[in-house]
Structure 1
Amino acid sequence: MQYVRGMSRSAKPSRTPAASSDAPESAPGGRAAAQRLKMRRELAAAAMELFATKGYEATTVDEIAAAAGVARRTFFRHFRSKEEAIFPDHDDTLIRAEAVLDAAPAHEHPLDTVCRGIKEVMKMYAARPEISVSRYKLTREVPTLREAEIASVARYERLFTRYLLGHFDEHAHDDDANDDPLLAEVAASAVVTAHNHVLRRWLRAGGQGDVESQLDHAFSIVRKTFGTGMGAGRDTPPHTAPVPAVSVDGEVLVTVARVDAPLHQVMRTIEQALKERH
């Protein structure tokens, strides 16, 4: 899997990244963004409490709004349904993850960039461990909420798949160029799966433990599995893997090549050396 700099990225929606709860209120739109997130979290807290005490099916949107001290129409300005109400931060986190991809340094390997992007999701959960653990327990009990959570995860996978596909070297797979979308999707899925594995383990432990080091370990496994042959970074233009060195001593041909050099390139060099010899 070869990645390069300069390939077209996925089309970016014309939107301004939403400010997190830490956004300065003096920044343009910062106050409004902070108030928006505050209200979403208050509605989420009210929904979670009602779901836990009254049950998901028995709880209505009107009750959630009343518990949060707002009108029904205010609820629907922030969420489309009651199951969305317990995931107040995913929209903003998705935007922050996309911002990580957009601002990636040129030397960084695209797979490493995606790993940094998904860390925004972990930061979201780790910022409020008690709520995250309660939400995890609730989603295990209510299939509808579990489905909503799965839909949120799919949004991250699509974002990362588009990003990785946008950095493929289109000339690196002469015979299997149609496999690029599959390779990008599998790699993106592996990053998200590694993240979710660590996240679930952390939530089951009550939000305790060094989750960042666990994440780094999981990502190192993904990098070893899917990073071979991708190239060192996006500064590397197509076909810059060092050409295998070939020397001929009598009837013995010796070739030296990098382990990530494409096999077809190594074979082509050997074949050319043999032709020249004869």
Structure 2
Amino acid sequence: MAERKRQLVSRELAEAALQLLARKGFDGVTVDEIAAAAGVSKRTFFRYFASKEDVVVRFLTDLGLGMRAELAARPAAEPPATALLRTTQAAMAACADRPDRPDHAARTLRVVQLILRTPPLLARFLERQEQWRRDLAEELARRRQVDLAKDLYPELAAGLALTAFNTALRRWSDSDGTEEAAGLLDRAFTVVAPALDAGEAPRPLDRN
């Protein structure tokens, strides 16, 4: 029960913070405002987050964890390009496609624009991207039964997939949401899919 309560408070704080940050900009929001919007004290805010920036980092961390979980759940026989497309589609949908929340895409678009246009947040985004690449590479190595330390394919494929995702995300942001996020991602993967599926055939792990 206590853990469920903690998760609920954390989600409410994150939701309040992202809404305010999206509406007023990073420098236009104080921790006091976030706490008041969530109906908690400033002291409670700092029990869950170290700073306003930390709220955005948590959003990015959750996005990356979702991608790794999605890739891990893809069928083993699925071609790499398909598996990675579905993986990044899940992340894009988390940003831009919530039928149960008509306002979700607009709010998340503003958050994405905030991240891409605020230097400290962009730096944290790029930092998180490196963790995403490592996580996806580890999953790809596991799927192909290769040694990540010896096989170049997993890291290169993870990097290509994230480049496609980033390109679609930036185009969606730059268009102010007028271009469809899912369509942009499909187009990006049309470009990189041949390289993703042209990797050398999987080989057994060297256990010696």
Superposition deviation, residue 227 in structure 1: 1.5
Once residues 134 and 35 of structure 1 are traced to their aligned partners in structure 2, the CA distance between those partners, rounded to angstroms, is: 23
The answer to whether structure 1 residue 167 and structure 2 residue 143 are counterparts is: yes
1:40 and 2:3 are equivalent in the alignment: no
- Do structure 1's residue 227 and structure 2's residue 158 form an aligned pair? no
**Is 1:200 aligned to 2:167, yes or no?**
no
> Once the 2 structures are TM-superposed, how far is the Cα of residue 104 of structure 1 from its aligned partner?
1.7
Following superposition, the deviation at residue 156 of structure 1 comes to 1.7
Mind listing any 5+ residue stretches in structure 2 that lack a counterpart?
98-103
Indicate which of 35, 59, 78 corresponds to 1:89: 59
Number of residue pairs matched?
196
Cα offset, 1:188, TM superposition: 0.5
Instruction: Work out whether residues 161 and 185 of structure 1, in 8 Å CA contact, stay in contact via their aligned partners in 2.
Output: yes
What letter is aligned with 2:192?
V
Alignment-mate amino acid for residue 122 of structure 2: R
- In the superposition, the TM-score normalised over structure 1's length comes to 0.59
Residue 155 of structure 1 corresponds to which residue in structure 2?
A: 131
Q: Counterpart of 1:273?
A: none
SS at structure 2 position matched to 1:92: helix
Superposition pairs of residues 1-278 of structure 1, within 5 angstroms: 36-50=10-24, 52=25, 56=27, 59-86=29-56, 89-127=59-97, 128-168=104-144, 170=146, 179-180=150-151, 182-231=152-201
Decide which structure has the larger Cα Rg and report it: 1
Q: Offset at 1:209?
A: 2.6
Q: Give the drift of 1:71.
A: 1.2
Q: Quick check: which one's helix share is greater?
A: 2
Report the 3-state secondary structure (helix = DSSP H, G, I; strand = E; otherwise coil) of the residue aligned with 1:70: coil
Instruction: Determine what percentage of the aligned residue pairs are the same residue.
Output: 29
Match in the other structure for 1:265: none
Shift of 1:142: 2.4
Please say if residues 202 and 211 of structure 1, whose CA atoms lie closer than 8 Å, have aligned partners that are also in contact: yes
1:251 aligned partner: none
Question: Which letter maps to 2:189?
Answer: F
> How far off its partner does 1:87 sit?
5.2
Deviation string 1:195-241 (CA, Å, 9 cap, x unpaired) is 1101111111111233323312321322202311445xx8xx76xxx
Q: Secondary structure at the match of 1:187?
A: helix
- Answer yes or no: is the 8 Å Cα contact 1:161–1:188 preserved in 2: yes
The answer to whether the Cα contact below 8 Å between 1:187 and 1:226 also exists between their aligned partners in 2 is yes
- TM-score normalised to the size of structure 2? 0.76
Shift of 1:168: 3.9
Bigger relative contact order (CA 8 A; separation at least 6): 1
Q: Report Cα offsets for 1:150-175 as digits up to 9, x if no partner.
A: 2232232121111122234559xxxx
Amino acid of the residue matched to residue 139 of structure 1? I
How far is 1:75 from its partner?
1.7
Q: Distance between the aligned counterparts of 1:134 and 1:38, measured in 2?
A: 18
CA RMSD of aligned residues (A): 3.1
1:211–1:44 CA distance, 2 compared to 1 (3 A): closer
Letter in 1 for 2:142: G
- The alignment partner of 2:143 has SS state of coil
Q: Return closer, same or farther for 1:115/1:31 CA change in 2, 3 Å cut-off.
A: farther
